[in-house]
Structure 1
Amino acid sequence: MEFNISTDIFEDLTYIYSGKLTVKKNVKCLYVIIAAYDLQLQNVVEHLENYFKENDSAWKLPKDFFIISEQRQLKQLEEQVLKLACTDPIIIFNCKDFPQLNEGFLIRLLKRNDLELNEINIFYYLVKWGIVNTGLTLNKKSFSPILIFDKDRSILDFVIDTRKWTPIDFMNLEKTIRNCIPHIRFYQMSLGDYTEVKNEFKDILPNGLDDEIMQHFKDSNPLMRIPSNDNILPPRESACPFDSNIINAKDVALIATWINGGKGKKHVFQFKNIHFKFECVYRSSIDGFDKYDNLYKYKRVVIVIKVRNSGEIIGVYNPFGWDISYSEYILFKLFRDFLSRYFIFSLTNRVNPIISYHKEGAMSKISNERHILFGTSDLSINGIYCTSEQHSFKKKIIDKVRFEIDELEVFHITNKNIVITLSSNIPFLIIIFILYWLWILIIFIILNKK
């Protein structure tokens, strides 16, 4: 029997001679496991498998991911490496080895509920994989995807030029990705994202899908939860934990995107890359519903509410503090934090969330009776009781006028580093700089006249 084991790996298996396992740092442990399987060294296999299971830091992604995908004898480690890949899938999808990933393992990745990437980008990566695996009949130049990343390695755009494609090209691509397409969660895309996909790749989508999805969006009220349907795959959940009884890490990433000035869902932050720290400073199930005056000391907060019985999720971002007038708000906007926008929101329908910006009138206030008020009466919190009537904000976030709170959480928002703090106040710093030199110029002119 012949074994395909490198000299370095064989030398590291000193267990064969001494009964002690020593592996050099520069040798891939997965290759040692593979060699141990070939040599039927079961104790070595079990020892190293346990080492990987107990130490996430032992994994070297993306290389180890692709090793696992090709080795049937490493079944014990497949679930763990898939879970790790879901926390940072870009390093997998953007790896040069990704187009060579076998279909079965790709499908296992696409089926994961914790795959941390926006659905439209997952779809485009699948198309990229399909392009490479369709064969030499394709026009490689027109089938070259263009990935554009921002400084945090989040996808800003993903362009595939299909203008020169023929019907045969689309047909061949559809055959290649046919088994993978059912695991793309088209129903979890926004209407804008799905429309973009449909316009470019309608010919590779399953028959009848377009009519079903367009009807789904037509029937979907953003103020209401999407009805459950066994044929609709559930939304993907973040693989990253977040301390909240109401929102998850993906919700936090979306709120952070809104705070940072982004309005759409396509380019939402990944949770690990958000610029802000969310610190829970108040939770009604622990702190009660009658101590809201304790929030005075926090000038920049996100408040989220889970509505009793219905489970609807609404909230507000208050970047300006409490008891400020509308004129003070205008001055704040001009001279302190130009990027911050005061808004209320709904995550009741996560496929079609609502963000409603302040337009005029009353701001935020905590009364002497410990009532919280946002806008004129757009969101009023009195103990466990709430009212919501649209006045000061542009859109409604809930159909109900009166309702009760099941849970309320308050998160203090801070910038993660000084660079973000300075960058968010660039307009203010520019104005100060201009005023300073204008003052110097005025003094210079006055002195020269004398």
Structure 2
Amino acid sequence: MTTKFYDRLSNDLTQLLENPIDYNVTIEVGEAPVNQIFKVHSYILQSRSPYLKKKFNESPFNENHVKELKISNISAKVFNVIIKYIYGGAISLKKLKTSIIFDLLITSHELDLDELVEHLQTYLVTNNSAWLRLNFAHVYQTSYQVKNFKIIQNFCNDIIAKYPYTIFESSNFNSLPEDALISIIKLDDLQLEEDKIWDYVIQWGKVKNSTLPANLNEWTSNHFLTLKSTLKNCLPHIRYFSISGELILKKLYPYLQLFEPKLWLDINTRFLAPNSSISSKILPPRKTLNEIFPIKITLIPSNIIADEYVLEILSWIFRKNVPYTESNQYKFKLLVRGSRDGFDVKTIFEICDKVSNTVIVVKVQGTGEIIGGYNPLEINNEEKWCSSRDSFIFSLKTENLKNSIVSRVTDFSSAIYYNSSKPSLDFGFALNLRGNLKTKSSYCGKGHYEKQIRSNSNNFSVEEFEIFKISLKK
């Protein structure tokens, strides 16, 4: 039996980093004035990082027999974590901002630290899914540019399958790498009608060719050949046989020149003579997830919650999942943001007076909890209790939305309390926002609602809050 003393080994090597006796390499990272120089040992780094081994071999020794490396695209903060991992095989992420951890992941990939790449992906998906969702377009695009982030890619694809407009309506959609787009349209459970997938693929292809005329009637055969060449790897993944005959005529026929003659004949044969045999490969219809519907919303302008959370809140408002239709488009208009408009409850009354159907979202200082409430009533610049049967409060569990807490009003006559003279906006006695939200004056308690949304009933201060007006976009 072999006894392994890894802890002592890790500690001794980390001490060598902190007191670099006989170092033979300096690595300068970052840009001035926040650059930093690390004194390190080539044998340790070469054995741990193929990237650094290559850099060492390419660099000559100076007159002091020390190799001087400079890596300006890595911050000192990130490299400090990396170098401690390289020497000691240990890493602590608790005190790091999620954006730094994501940068750390990218740097780990650049330095060929495969073990750390896998660990950081798992850590982000498990512990920081809220940040990944809030920065979804950037995270998704980066995961495919880097190529090696399979865990992040799977996380993103699962969200896209359930909430496709998260990416298709994103400003970053048209700049997606080809392999990222293909990975999306290959998803068997992508919750989007096939003709709309076709529309987005055509849109993506047109953007890649800015010289194509805007008016399709002005296109020549060369224009169609250009688009066909751009989309040659995407078009085979469209499930043409799941598109109705009417939509084939309306959406596919104008792009007839993109199709091989045999495939176009088989598409038409399938609908004109369903019992006739065809030779083209028929991809199976996409799987419909009964519990998820791709509600189309105007992307929410929030610094606290991601689009996926908005869909969850909508399902609570309507007490069911809402099926998608073209007219079922929900708009979230930002009315108040603490960091922009101030943190006094009085500001809410001034800006939101006589506004109904609002959602307030609060990020608790220190804990990062996301709590809030839905108020169907007009916000009233008076002092009174108001009656509602539909108001509720909630706690969003960002790691797993299924664990979120929804607490509906039970005492209808005392659902919402307004007091502008001693500024307070209360959902019964269950969510109470008082005075200056930056002070520890707000709290969650019991009364008038089904259950508590915080296990901690102590007063809290607010890191950020937002109020949105919800409306059906006609």
Could you tell me the TM-score, scaled by structure 1's length? 0.44
Q: Does 1 or 2 have the higher relative contact order (CA < 8 Å, sep 6+)?
A: 1
* TM-score w.r.t. length of structure 2: 0.42
